[in-house]
Amino acid sequence: MDSIEKTKPVGLLEENQIAEFIHHARELEHPRELIIDILRAIQKNHGWVPDEGIELTATILGLTPLEVEEIATFYDKIFRRPVGRFPIHICDSICCWTRGGEGVAAYFQQQLGIEFGQTTEDGMFTLLPSCCLGGCGRAPGVMIDHNFYGELTPDKVDRLLADLRQEVQA
Amino acid sequence: MSQTPQLLFKNRRPGETVFMDGYRATGGYQALEKAFRQMTPQELRELVKAAALRGRGGAGFPTGVKWTFFPSDAPGPKYLVCNCDEMEPGTYKDGELLMADPHQLVEGMIVSAFALQTDIGYIFIRYAYEKQAEHLRRAVVEATEAGYIGKNILGSGFDFELHVHGSAGRYILGEETALLNGLEGKRPNPRLKPPFPATRGLFGRPTTVNNVETIANIPHIINGGAEWFLDLALTPDGSGTKLFGLSGHLNCTECFELPVGIPLREVVENYGKGVLHNHTFKACLPGGASTPYLTAEHMDVALDFDSLAAVGSRFGTAGVTVFDDRTCMVAVTLNLIRFFARESCGWCTPCRDGLTMVRWLLEMIDSGKGTPEHLEMLKDQLKNISGKSFCALAEGAMGPVAGLLTHFEQEIVDHIEKGCCPFRK
Amino acid sequence: MPTLTIDNQKITVPEGKTVLEAAEELGIQVPHFCYHKELGAVGACRMCAVTVQEGSSKGLKMSCLIPAEDGMVVTTDDEQSTTFRDRVGEWLMLNHPHDCPVCDEGGECQLQEMTIASGHGVRRYAGQKRTYNNQDLGPFVAQEMNRCIQCYRCVRTYQDYCGGRDFGVMGSRNRVFFGRFQDGTLESDFSGNIVDVCPTGVLTDKTYRFKSRYWDLQEAPSVCPHCSLGCATIPGGRFHELQRVRSGENQLVNGFFICDRGRFGSGYVNHPERPRQARNNEQLIGMDEALRQLDVEARGLIEQHGPEAVLLLGSERTSLEANWLLQQWAKKLGCREPVLAAHGPRHQAAQVVAFDLSDRLASLEQVRGSDLVLVAGADPLAEAPMLAVALRQVVRSGGQVIVYDPRPVELPCEFDHQALSPLALLDFLTAGGSDGQHVRELLQHAESPILVGGADLLGVEGLQRLKKMSLELSNDQRPCLIYPLLSNPNSFGAALLSLPEQDDLLTRLETGRVKMLVCLESDPLLEAPESDRFSVALTKLDKLVVLDYLPTPLSVHANLFIPTRTPVESDGTFINNEGRLRSYAGVLEPGLPISVAEDGGHPPREFSTVSPGSDPLSASRILQILLKDDSSLVELHQQMVADFPRLAGLTGLTPSDAGVRVADAAARNVVNIDLPEQPVGTLQLIVSPARYGSDLLSRYSDKLEPRFSSAWVMMNSQDAAERGLQEGDKVILDTETGSFCLPMICHPQLAAGCALVENSAALASLVPGAGISYCEVSREVSHE
Ligand SMILES: Cc1cc2nc3c(=O)[nH]c(=O)nc-3n(C[C@H](O)[C@H](O)[C@H](O)COP(=O)(O)O)c2cc1C
Ligand code: SF4
Ligand code: FES
């Protein structure tokens, strides 16, 4: 508990979230099964999982940071580096590819002025290549904040980006 | 064409999700009532075996047979795990099913758990399906309130708890033993088999892993009976309906519930509404990214496990991705291999490094830098990777390569001879 | 027992053996990476492919995974298998740098060997190689990740086998990274093993970097001298310098791995202040002269003052041969029987083990295979590190470990711990308390129970109680064996040779009748309790003679000093804690290492027929000279066996052997020890060895310095609170040995009513194993 106190100021999890996870972990025979839940919760609050997030997860579950890192770094949807407010997962798998996915990706890059893996200067967008998002019928598509946007055209991309910018301003 | 009985998509309406009331309105949870009140677990298992239901997760293993391996009488905790990882490109049927009608899976999980006598169930669901996960969580709450989940369900003395477990990406989690490691919070490398999950699965306990669609079929089998289920298929050996997710160069790329054994032509022409922009059909992946290509010559093949195996491909998940005649099959294969190489877990050499090698060979050929030696190397890699990796990921990865070499070797030769891609202007 | 055919050769192997193991028995080496005898098979690398021609499942299979079947026909050299293995070699080499000439693994690289064995010779892949940034893993292990071939052996060793939790595998696909969460020293006490298991140059011994190529090293099978377990090691030296130690293989003892103390504690051999020349007071003399003086003076004194005048002191760290020869020399001189250990209570406890327990001793292998181990009064990581790893294997295979010890014992596995004071522990062993009954019941029902007992904490009395317990818990179906921990590599050997009853060293010195004390590789000032009393007793001597290889304080005081050889510079035998004779072979000739002589610079340019510092002779050689005996080692062993039939196993014993048990002894008359009454208000004093720097060899090993701990006294939080003390306070620890001003630390898991200190360079005068004693802890009075 001491070390949890220390990690608190970072504000990765709400106090009640920490308490809940600790409570839940105590009830479980195998607390490890909560790793992804906790990492996802941290990411939801903080946008990505900093080292302190790994350490916090480790403390809650009675693991070492390494043991959490072994898991965290396996998954591509856990970010261990800062990302923008809206990470854009652009599908580059086969169905989107048949429907012009490469063009859409290029259009995003051009409009945002960044490459894959980069974040716009205003901290709004990060472009990430992703495998199939399960929207094969509505290709080409991207996923942002768990929403799937399909059948994208340059027009739709423009509108999407504008809407997202607006959402933040609102 | 509209006569296919709709079981799984019975309640499906665009943009809508059916919950408890809607589900009940069309007969939902009747199978559960029947199973708990009139049938023994043993009878349920026999029924599923008689219905010849084959796993919808890709491998097509007969579910009833798998269930007979399960030590239902063993003391101590046992688990039923539903695989909703669904990350193979071209496959999106489970996502569609859960968007429309999540209670089907919940009911299926409860009756399957009863049949197998497992006391704890997990639905393992991919990161991109957070909406579906939310629907499932709501459905679980509703079913709990209705007394279908919890202690002493319908006075049967049977207890069951059901959890929805979200993932964080990576295709390998679909492999059932990797999934179990993932659920346990361990590194999701596949496990050595034997021991099989039925003996040592989740947390070292007996476990059955089944696909979403597989489990969603169980209540329908209970309601309709084995004979009825067998008769749904168009092929004599087949059974039931199947969710076909269409994609690629088709005019209509939607997900349909169609009888098992429907010919490819009918899927492409009647449901896919023909090839996009009136181009010609060149090839397709019949069942997801890991299945060897079918070509125009296969238009009349029945889409079923055995018929597709007979022509050197696989039914897989029935995600049909179509390519028109302007498509470069080297580029298609490269795209697929890039996916598989990127999704390798990194455990075994043929997959981790072999796929890297294959990707490089295809890059060389695709970019016009290929040589005849590269073609020979590609054939050699196919021979040495297929069936020789630790799990089926690398084997699946080589499916398209096998298809490419069987049906489109000339395209590779053209690339090499021209020094560029013949399809690019 | 299935009989199968591999490459046209038939072989019958025990049920459950794999095809790979069967092939190995036939002398057919199937290339492999991820399979390791101790770690088992995981089927990841795919290098060990063979073709099953006949069998329940035919075709290309991984030989490490398939069990041998009766009637199976396997080929390893068919086209399919050889091509596939060639491809695996090629895949593994995709990213591997071609830097063999500068690689630290050069010459002992399994990847090099397997790549050649697999037939892969020409690079065809011309794509980009993936590269990594390396981490700083601390002073012991260097990392060069670009060379990684992802065999996962390091994690399987570090985490799975040894129980370390700060090194593992991160990332995925062709970008997996083996390392720590962040830069920093590897925390496990067994970290060095990843150097041995890594088949390529990723993880190498940092302390050995840039010293030698493998083929330039002199190596020989040896025995680790850092505790009483006697793990197999392979020291490697060059230019008179012991440059590294790697683990040897001994299935009965350590298996494949060793601890970091054993691996990195080798610096004493090259210690810059190691005395390498004989000396009469201030004057350097030749060896011949020194031995002549010793002989003449010893005789003279005996002639003049009688047999009491010369006292010979053997040691628990010198070889069995040297101790025995010392006894022979005493006979020849006509003086009294030598004392073979400076530390009386430890020596007596070792005698209980060597005589009374000798018919019920377990091997470390048996510990690993046990289903229930009771550890009583032992802290494995401090006293016998590889025991901790063995206990982990018990837990990994579903067994249970229960520890009863006053200290806050740590183990690299799950275990139950009850903190009992030393006195309560003795009570517990005689079934005192409900705990005692409960644990007995568990042990009664176990299939192969083992009692681990630390001789330091239990002492003579505790070990005897442990024996009673083991007798009571044994039945017709199975015994309940004992695994005792002793303090030194040859404690058992010294005890076995000793007369059961001896006056203790100090009493004899204090009579004033001893004129000359000869200390053979022993420094009672550091290795025995009551160093103050000893210092005073020394003043009564006319002559102090020291033979040693360490620059101990005693050797500095010696009137006559004679340099001896370290175990790696001589042949000899130790008897480990379970009575196993383990012999070792010399690796190096003694001499001033170039790195020491010229401060790491160029070797001396003068011509000379002798190399500097090459005087030292082994203790047994010295004694043989004094005895004018030039028997060979074999002849010596014959004489020893004739003298001590229990040592029969010495005949034919070689350093490559797993070792032979000494014969059982008839039990002796048991004496009951009176335990000292506890004065009111006192605490029981526990002196524990520090994990590093308690045994003298590691104390004189510079490589281990980063691991040395500072001095402190530990108390249970409640005892501290009662005395108004807090963590970090400076306190006075009053003991029979003296008073010490130390910082205090609190630990909730230390048994109530105890004070714990660690013996190390920082607190050398409190020595473990001195028996039950009491102390008081109070706040330091400030003199403001
Ligand atoms: C690499 C790989 C990915 C897989 N992905 C999935 C998946 O996303 N969903 C699924 O149900 N089965 C998947 N499978 C198959 C499962 O391992 C397993 O066979 C299946 O879940 C069993 O369910 P079923 O018998 O109901 O089909 C995958 C297999 C492999 C080798
Ligand atoms: S084939 Fe090998 S590396 Fe690929 S996913 Fe399976 S186990 Fe991992
Ligand atoms: S040694 Fe058999 S697969 Fe690695």
Nearest to C262 by CA among C250, C273, C274: C250
Region B233-324: CATH code:
3.10.20.600
Which pLDDT belongs to residue C604? 61
- Phi first, then psi, for residue B5 (nearest 5°) are -60, 140
Distance from CA of B367 to the nearest CA of C (A): 13
CA of residue C44 to ligand 2 center, whole Å? 8
Distance from CA of B387 to the nearest CA of C (A): 9
Which range has the worst mean pLDDT, A1-5, B261-265, C66-70, C604-608? A1-5
Residue C108 pLDDT > 60: yes
Nearest to C169 by CA among B181, A22, B268: B181
Element (H, E) at C685: strand C683-689
* Contact flag A139-B246 (C-beta cutoff 8 Å): no
Dist CA B361 CA B356 (whole Å):
9
Is residue B413 in contact with ligand 1, taking CB distance under 6 Å?
Answer: no
Residue C230, amino acid:
G
B60-87 average pLDDT score:
96
Dist CA A161 CA C631 (whole Å):
93
**CATH number of the domain at C348-486, out of 3.40.190.10, 3.40.228.10, 3.40.30.10, 1.20.1530.20?**
3.40.228.10
CB-nearest to A64 from C166, C171, C172 is: C166
First vs last C-alpha separation in chain B:
40
CB-nearest to A73 from C167, C171, C182 is: C171
Residue A41 pLDDT > 70: yes
Region B20-230: CATH code:
3.40.50.11540
Q: Whole-number mean pLDDT of chain A?
A: 93
Which pLDDT belongs to residue C668? 80
* Contact flag B185-A77 (C-beta cutoff 8 Å): no
Q: pLDDT digit string (tens) for C703-726?
A: 999 999 999 999 999 999 999 999
Neighbours of B276 (CB within 10 A): 17
Nearest to C134 by CA among C97, C89, C94: C97
Q: pLDDT digit string (tens) for B288-309?
A: 999 999 999 999 999 999 999 9
* Contact flag B192-C43 (C-beta cutoff 8 Å): yes
Q: pLDDT digit string (tens) for C550-587?
A: 999 999 889 999 999 999 999 999 999 999 999 999 99
Q: How far is CA A2 from the centre of its chain?
A: 29
Dist CA A10 CA B111 (whole Å):
46
Dist CA B200 CA B184 (whole Å):
13
Where along chain A do the CATH 3.40.30.10 domains lie?
Answer: 86-169
Taking domain C683-779, whether its CATH number is 2.60.120.620 is answered by: no
Taking domain A2-72, whether its CATH number is 1.10.10 is answered by: yes
Is residue B388 in contact with ligand 2, taking CB distance under 6 Å?
Answer: no
Q: Which ligand is nearest to the CA of B386?
A: 2
Residue C544 pLDDT > 90: yes
Is residue B137 in contact with ligand 2, taking CB distance under 6 Å?
Answer: no
Dist CA B154 CA C138 (whole Å):
62
The angle at the Cα of C364, spanning C362 to C365, to the nearest 5 degrees, equals 95
- Phi first, then psi, for residue A3 (nearest 5°) are -70, -25
CB-nearest to B128 from A35, A133, A138 is: A133
Note the CATH architecture for domain B329-418.
Up-down Bundle (1.20)
Q: Are C354 and C579 in contact (CB under 8 A)?
A: yes
A62-82 average pLDDT score:
97
* Contact flag C181-A66 (C-beta cutoff 8 Å): yes
Nearest to C77 by CA among C23, C147, C132, C130: C23
Dist CA B110 CA B41 (whole Å):
12
Interaxial angle between packed helices B41-50 and B102-116, expressed in degrees from 0 to 180 and rounded to the nearest 10: 120
Q: Whole-number mean pLDDT of chain C?
A: 94
C247-253 average pLDDT score:
97
Region A86-169: CATH code:
3.40.30.10
- CA count, 13 A, side-chain hemisphere, B164: 21
| Residue count (chain C) | 784
What are the extents of the domains in chain C?
A: 3-92, 126-270, 278-343+499-590+612-650, 348-486, 683-779
Peptide bond into A140 cis (omega under 30): yes
**A-C Cβ pairs (cutoff 8 Å, strict):** 30
C160 touches chain A (CB under 8 A): no
Q: Are C695 and C689 in contact (CB under 8 A)?
A: yes
Which pLDDT belongs to residue B1? 47
Burial of B152 (0-12, 13-18, 19+ CB in 10 A): exposed
Write the secondary structure of C282-297 as one string of H (helix), E (strand) and C (coil). CEEECHHHHHHHHHHH
Residue A5 pLDDT > 70: no
Which pLDDT belongs to residue C503? 72
Higher pLDDT, B316 or C676: B316
- CA count, 13 A, side-chain hemisphere, C324: 22
- Nearest ligand 3 atom, CA C43: 3
Interaxial angle between packed helices B392-407 and B329-343, expressed in degrees from 0 to 180 and rounded to the nearest 10: 170
Which pLDDT belongs to residue A3? 47
The residue of chain B nearest to residue A43, with distances taken between CA atoms, is B168
Neighbours of A113 (CB within 10 A): 10
- B79-84 and B207-211 strand pairing: parallel
In angstroms, the Cα distances linking B179 to B54, B172, C119, C152, C517 are 20, 8, 36, 20, 71
Residue B36, amino acid:
F
| Residue count (chain B) | 425
Where along chain A do the CATH 1.10.10 domains lie?
Answer: 2-72
Q: Are A57 and C156 in contact (CB under 8 A)?
A: no
Residues 89-128 on C with a CB inside 8 Å of B are 90-92, 94-95, 124-127
Dist CA B284 CA C542 (whole Å):
101
For residue C172, the chain A residues in CB contact (below 8 A) are: 73-74
Q: Are B32 and B39 in contact (CB under 8 A)?
A: no
Which pLDDT belongs to residue C118? 84
Residue C11 pLDDT > 80: yes
pLDDT band of residue A64 (cuts 50, 70, 90) is very high
CA of residue C47 to ligand 3 center, whole Å? 5
CA of residue C3 to ligand 3 center, whole Å? 22
For residue C168, the chain A residues in CB contact (below 8 A) are: 66-67, 69-70
C414-421 average pLDDT score:
96
Q: Whole-number mean pLDDT of chain B?
A: 97
Dist CA A112 CA A127 (whole Å):
9
Mutant choice from B338, B358, B384 vs C, greatest count of C C-beta within 10 A? B384
For residue A67, the chain C residues in CB contact (below 8 A) are: 165, 168
First vs last C-alpha separation in chain A:
39
The residue of chain B nearest to residue A30, with distances taken between CA atoms, is B184
The angle at the Cα of B85, spanning B79 to B87, to the nearest 5 degrees, equals 160
Note the CATH architecture for domain C3-92.
Roll (3.10)
pLDDT band of residue A7 (cuts 50, 70, 90) is very low
Is residue C152 in contact with ligand 3, taking CB distance under 6 Å?
Answer: no
Which pLDDT belongs to residue C599? 61
Is residue B190 in contact with ligand 2, taking CB distance under 6 Å?
Answer: yes
Percent of chain C topping pLDDT 70: 98
Residue C783 pLDDT > 90: no
* Contact flag B335-A139 (C-beta cutoff 8 Å): no
CA of residue C176 to ligand 2 center, whole Å? 13
For residue A33, the chain B residues in CB contact (below 8 A) are: 165, 183-185
Ligand 2 mutation target, pool B173, B348, B398, most atoms within 8 A of CB:
B348
**CATH number of the domain at C278-343+499-590+612-650, out of 3.40.50.740, 2.60.40.180, 3.40.50.300, 3.40.190.150?**
3.40.50.740
Q: Which ligand is nearest to the CA of A134?
A: 1
Q: Maximum Cα–Cα distance for chain A, whole Å?
A: 54
Q: pLDDT digit string (tens) for B345-374?
A: 999 999 999 999 999 999 999 999 999 999
Q: pLDDT digit string (tens) for B170-185?
A: 999 999 999 999 999 9
pTM above 0.80, yes or no: yes
What are the extents of the domains in chain B?
A: 20-230, 233-324, 329-418
Residues 462-491 on C with a CB inside 8 Å of A are none
Residue C53 pLDDT > 90: yes
Burial of C515 (0-12, 13-18, 19+ CB in 10 A): buried
Q: Beta partners for C731?
A: C742, C779
**DSSP letter (8 states) at residue C104:** T
Which pLDDT belongs to residue C715? 96
Q: Are B383 and B273 in contact (CB under 8 A)?
A: no
- Nearest ligand 3 atom, CA C151: 4
